[in-house]
Structure formats: structure tokens, C-alpha cells
Copies of this chain bind each other. A is one copy, B any other.
Amino acid sequence: MSQSTITIVKNTDKKQKPQSKDIAFGRTFTDHMFVMDYESDKGWHEPRIVPYEPLTLDPAAMIFHYGQTVFEGMKAYRTEDDRVLLFRPDKNLERLNLSSDRLSIPPVDEEKVMEYLVELIRLEQDWVPSFEGTSLYVRPFIIGTEPSLAVAPSKTYKLMVILSPVGPYFKGGIKPVQINVEEQYTRAVKGGTGMAKTAGNYSSAYQAQAKAYKEGLADVLWLDGIEKRYIEEVGSMNIFFKIDGEVVTPALSGSILKGITRMSIIELLQKWGIPVSERRISIEELYEAYEEGKLEEAFGTGTAAVISPVGELNWLGRKMTINDGEIGSLSQKLYDTITGIQRGSVEDAYGWTVEV
């Protein structure tokens, strides 16, 4: 059972929109948000757009104790001719339900939530910035709200969508990053929650992140939790390597997030006739390829940066400098193509964009 008529309560006290492109990530929010509730006997109900405002929850609400929550992240882009585009939002909603399934959260109706999303972004369209590289970040999330300390799924939930204008990921052009191969900490393991976009996967990485920062490195490359050999992904990006002309990315092992940028890149490469394989790849294999001069490019992929070239990998003190620390030509071409499609300057031959 679920109801689809959306109520809108307009905010009369509008905030000032950021005036420059240097907007810190995820700190400014728009005037409205979307909220919908779930109760066992009513299903998802009362979809509404309301002023962005604090949430009131019982201190015993389950989200605070047992972490039953999932989220998504996507972006709305402004085109040169002033349209607003979303990039494959259906895939985000599909993944939201996939994550919810792992966390025992009831699924949402993807088509209806898509309508609600579009309605919210349409209402807030003036918040979609127009500077090169900027966008409106869209954050749907679901939290268990039942006030109970029993270790069991919540009987009530809240789905919320908040919007945040964000600046360009790379200020002053793409900068390849240096990344630490993490040997001590583990992000996820087969049978765990690694394939779900759920809160606990992220804060559990802070210790490893801090270690990397201390060494002047920007992020962490995770290895599998079982053998600590097979490459998984970066903090919040999937990872690709170009080795001897072939593009390789770790297969979806059950502990890796199924990135939408990852999926799109694989599809583009296939279309272009560039060999690409999803398979297990060990850090030893990568190091060997590096020593033989066959590691041509490496890049992370995700909604935030689209493509983030990796200039250097640090594996137990052994440094692999990739493509002289510069962005590779394939990485650049993928970046240009995807950002072009997202901003409407490259033809969308795949039906990936949805106009708001």
C-alpha cells in the first residue's frame, strides 16, 4: 500500500544561494527537502516536500543504536541551454532498494520515488549552479525510527531527500591523486554489507583514511578482507587499471559497491571496442605489471569526481608512479565523454540522462 499524491509546504524564508563556484561539499542545503514515512500497516505513505528543517527523533530511535540505514548519492547538472539533467537516477533507486534489502529495510516504489525526486529538484531548480564543474548533489536516505532498543528491524522508517549545491571536484583542472594500499584495516568482506550503501561502511574507514592523510596521501585502496590480496575499491570510488592495453576493474565480489559510474565506463569502453574485463586482480599482479612497465593508467570512478586519476599508489612503502603522475589519455577521454553527457554537450546515445 502506498500513496502517491505529494503535499508541498513551501518555505517562505528562502536562503541565499552560493554566489561563487567554490562551494564546500555537503555543507549548504537548499530550502526544501522531501520526506516520506513507513509504518508496517500503512506501507510508505505521506510523501511530502517541506521546508528544510531539523528532524525530531526519540533518543531510542533505532538509527542511533543499531544503524539500520541506507543512502544514495547522485547529481543534478545544469546544461549550457539551462536545462537540468540527472544521470541514470533509475540506477541509484535500484541500488537504494538493493541496499535496503541487505539492511532489512522495506523497499520503495522506484518509479514513484523518481517522480518525487524530480518534483523536488524542479522546485529547487534555481539551486542547481551553472559554473563549470558544479552541480546539485542529491542525497536520499532512509533511517529506522522506531523507539526501541530490541536488536531487530525497525517497524517505522523515514525516507528523506536533501539537496546540496557543490563545487567542482577538481579546482583548477584534474589533479591525479596519491593513494595508500591499506594492509591493516578492512572495509568489507564477503557475507557482510560491502555491496550496500549503508552508513557503517563509511565511518569504519576513518582510521585508515587518517593513516593515509598522515602520509600525505589522499585516499585508501582497499584489499579484500579474506586474503588481503585482491583489490576492491577506493574510499568512495571504484577502481580501474589500464594494463598493457586492457582495462581491468575488480569484479563485483559481494563486498564492493556496484558503482553507477563504473557501470557506465564499462559500457562506454565496450562500445568503443576497448578491451575491458571485470575480474579478480591482486595487488601483486598490479605491482608486477607496474615493474614490467605495463601499468599504463589507473583511475577511481564515482559520482563525486566522475574520474579521479591515480598518479601514485603506495603499497607497503613501495611506490608505483603511474603515467608520470599525469592523467592518461583514456582517463581524459572517459572524463570528457561522461561529463559531456551529464551536461548535455555530448550526445546521450544511451538514454542515460533524465531531464528534470
State the A residues within 8 Å of B (CB): 24-27, 29, 33, 52-61, 63-69, 71, 102-104, 137, 139, 141, 143-144, 147-153, 160, 162, 164, 184-193, 198-207, 209-210, 225-226, 228, 235-236
Contact = CB atoms under 8 A, between A and B. Distances in A.
Given A64-B63, A65-B139, A210-B104, A236 B203 contact: no
A160 B59 CA distance: 8
B63 A63 contact: yes
Most chain B beta carbons < 10 A, residue from A24, A191, A198, A201: A191
Given A25-B150, A185-B191, A200-B203, 19 more contacts: A29-B59, A33-B59, A54-B56, A55-B59, A57-B57, A60-B164, A63-B64, A64-B199, A65-B71, A67-B69, A67-B203, A68-B203, A103-B204, A104-B203, A104-B206, A186-B189, A191-B225, A198-B203, A199-B200
A90 to B, nearest CB: 22
A133 to B, nearest CB: 17
Given A58-B55, A226-B226, A152 B186 contact: no
Given A151-B236, A203-B68, A206-B152, A52 B63 contact: no
Contact of A27 (B27, B137, B148, B187): B148
Contact of A209 (B152, B192, B198, B200): B152
Contacts of A64: 55, 63, 69, 141, 143, 199
Q: Give me the 5 closest cross-chain CB pairs, A-B, nearest first.
A: A200-B200, A26-B149, A67-B199, A186-B191, A66-B202
9 contacts: A54-B57, A55-B59, A60-B139, A66-B203, A67-B67, A67-B204, A153-B206, A186-B191, A199-B199
